[in-house]
Structure 1
Amino acid sequence: MRGQAGKYRIIAPSRFGYLGSTIPDDSSPSAQARAYLELLDSLSIEQVYVLGTSAGGTIAIRFALAYPERTKGLVLYSSASPWPEEPKKYSKHEGPPAFFCKDYPMWLLRPLLRPLMGMSKDTVYTMLPLGKRKQGMQIDAKIVNPGMAGNFAEYPIEELQVPSLIIAAKDDNLADSRSMEQVLSRFPNATWLPFEDGGHLMVGHEKEIENARDNFVRDNP
C-alpha cells in the first residue's frame, strides 16, 4: 500500500502472510528484507527511513543491516528487541497458540487487552477477521520472533551504519521496553524515547512521537 501522510510519502507493504500477501517457502526475516528491497527497486526509490513495529522490528533491523546504502534511518516503535548476547536457550515459538488465532477466542480475550498489552478492548475490532492475519501471525511466532535469538550472528547491531530512533512504552507487555533499554549500548547512533504508559500502541503520545519523528528526519536527511 502506498499513501501520503502530510509531508511524508508512506509505503506500507503487508509482511508475508498478512492481508492476503504471498507466503514463499523462505519466510525468514532476511527473505522479507529482500522483498522490501525488490519493492523499492520496482518503485525506483533509492533510500527510505525504515519503520518497524512489534515483530516487524526484526525485519526493519535486518533490512538496515543488510542494505545500509538504501536506509536513511531506522525507526523502532514498540519493537522486538535484539539480545544483549547470544542466548544458550530460547523459546522456539513466540506468539499466541494456534487456538487463539481465531476470531471468537480473540474476541473473548478483549477484556485482557488492556492489562496484557495496554490496549483498549475495542482494539480487537481492528484485528478481526483474523483469517487475514492468521498465517502472518504463525510465521511471526515460529520464524520472525525467535529470529534474533536463533540467528544471533545475523544481527550484529554494533555494525549498524544508520541512525536509529527507538520508541517504547514501559507498560507494553508485548515489547518489553526494559529489554530494549538493556541493549541500547549496542546501537551505534540511537535516540531513545521511552514513555511511562501508552501500551503497545503508545496511545496518548502521538504529538511527542510526531515531533521526535520530524526531528529525526531533519537531523538525518
Structure 2
Amino acid sequence: MSRIGGFVLVMFIAITTTAVVTFLPYINELDRRRDAVGHGSLVANLDIGPIEYADSGAGIPLLSIHGAGGGFDQGLALAADLVGGGFRVIAPSRFGYLRTPAPRDPSPVAQGDAHAALLSKLNVRKAVVVGVSAGARSAVELALRHPDKVAALILIVPALYPPSSPVSINVSLGNRFAFWAVNAGGDFAWWATENTAPSILIRFVGVRPALVAATPQAERDRVMSFLKSVEPLSLRLPGINIDSIPKQYELPLNEITAPTMIISARDDLFNTLPAAELAADNIPGAELVVYDTGGHLLVGQVQQVRKAVRTFLARKGLIP
C-alpha cells in the first residue's frame, strides 16, 4: 500500500470512529426518548378525532395543557412541578403532538372542544384547568365555550393575544439556528446542541442562560430535563408548526366565569407579561402573580409558583 493510500485509510478510520462515537450516544438517547413517550399514555377515540392522554394519580381532576414542544409527558411534568401532588392529572397531547394527529381544524377553539370532549369521555364533570404557554390558548377557549367543565383556570406564562405588545421571540443567530432545527424536525441537531451548546436552546425556550447558570444544580437539572423533554423533536413537529402560526385575536375574556389565576415573569423572553396583564384586567376577579425573574420556565420560582397555586386552590375549596 502506498504512503498516500495508508494516510487515506488512517483518515477514513479516524473519521468513521469519530462519527460512530458521536452518533451512538444520540441513537441510544433517541431510542430511550421514543420508548418513554411510547408508554404511559392512552388514546381516546372522540368525535373530533383520536386524542392521546395520560391519566395519573387520584384526587380532584386537573387538566394539564402543555405548551409548544410538549405532549402528555410534558403535561405530567408541569403539573408535578408547578401544582404538586394530590390530584388526578389528565394530560392530553394537543393537536399534532406525539400520537394526537393534526386535524383539518387545529385552532384553539377546536382544541378547547377536544379538551371538553376528553373530560366527558373520562366521566369528569369538572376539572381544575392549567394552561401553560401556548396551552393557555385552548385553556381559555375551554373556559369560554364549556364553562361547566372548569372548576378553576390557571394560566402560566400565557401565550395569549395582547394587541399592543405581542408574544414573540427575538431573531438572534442562536434562535435562527434553533428555528432551523425545529423546522427541519432535526432530532440530531437538537440533541447535539443540547449537549454542546445548551445555552442556545435555553435562550430559545425563553430564558436568559445567565439566570440558569446562577441557580442551584437541582434547578439547572430541571431546565435540562425540559430541553430533553422536547425529544424526539420529529414526533412533535406538526404540533409545533400549529403553535408557531396561531391566528391570534382578541377574546371575550370578560365572559370567563371560572376563578382564575395568571402567572408570568418580567424577564420572560417570550414577552408573555403584557398578555398576562391584559387577561388579569379583563377576566372578572382574576389574580395576577408576577415574578421579577424566572423567564419563560420560571427558573428559580417553582416552589413559589406551587405555593401560590395551591394557596389559590385552597381558597377556592379545590385543594385535596
Q: Shared topology, TM-score over 0.5?
A: yes
The corresponding residue for 1:51 is 130
1:13-56: per-residue Cα shift (whole Å, max 9, x none)? 00011122122211111111111111111111110111111111
Task: Please say if residues 169 and 200 of structure 1, whose CA atoms lie closer than 8 Å, have aligned partners that are also in contact.
Answer: yes
Partner of 2:157, secondary structure, is strand
| Structure 2 residues without counterparts, runs of 5 or longer | 1-53, 58-83, 167-177, 213-219
The corresponding residue for 1:213 is 309
Asked whether 1:2 is paired with 2:55, we answer yes
Asked whether 1:110 is paired with 2:217, we answer no
Give distance in 2, aligned partners of 1:114 and 1:138.
20
Aligned length: 207
Give the alignment of 1:17-166 within 5 angstroms. Answer: 17-84=96-163, 96=179, 99=183, 101-107=185-191, 108=193, 110-116=198-204, 117-118=206-207, 122=224, 123-142=226-245, 146-149=246-249, 152=250, 155-166=251-262
Give distance in 2, aligned partners of 1:173 and 1:207.
21
The corresponding residue for 2:280 is 184
AA partner of residue 236 (structure 2)? R
Larger relative contact order (Cα-Cα within 8 Å, sequence gap ≥ 6): 1
After TM superposition, the structure 1 stretch with the greater mean CA deviation from structure 2, 38-47 or 106-115, is 106-115
Give distance in 1, aligned partners of 2:118 and 2:106.
16
Check 1:8–1:23 CA distance in 2 against 1; reply closer, same or farther (3 A cut).
Answer: same
- Structure index of larger Rg: 2
Runs of 4+ in 1 over 4 A off after TM superposition: 95-98
Larger helix fraction of residues: 2
Give distance in 2, aligned partners of 1:173 and 1:35.
30
The corresponding residue for 2:10 is none
Task: Please say if residues 79 and 175 of structure 1, whose CA atoms lie closer than 8 Å, have aligned partners that are also in contact.
Answer: no
Question: What's the CA shift for 1:115?
Answer: 3.9
Tell me the C-alpha RMSD between the 2 structures: 2.5
Check 1:35–1:99 CA distance in 2 against 1; reply closer, same or farther (3 A cut).
Answer: closer
Q: Give the alignment's TM-score, normalised by structure 1.
A: 0.83
Partner of 2:314, secondary structure, is helix
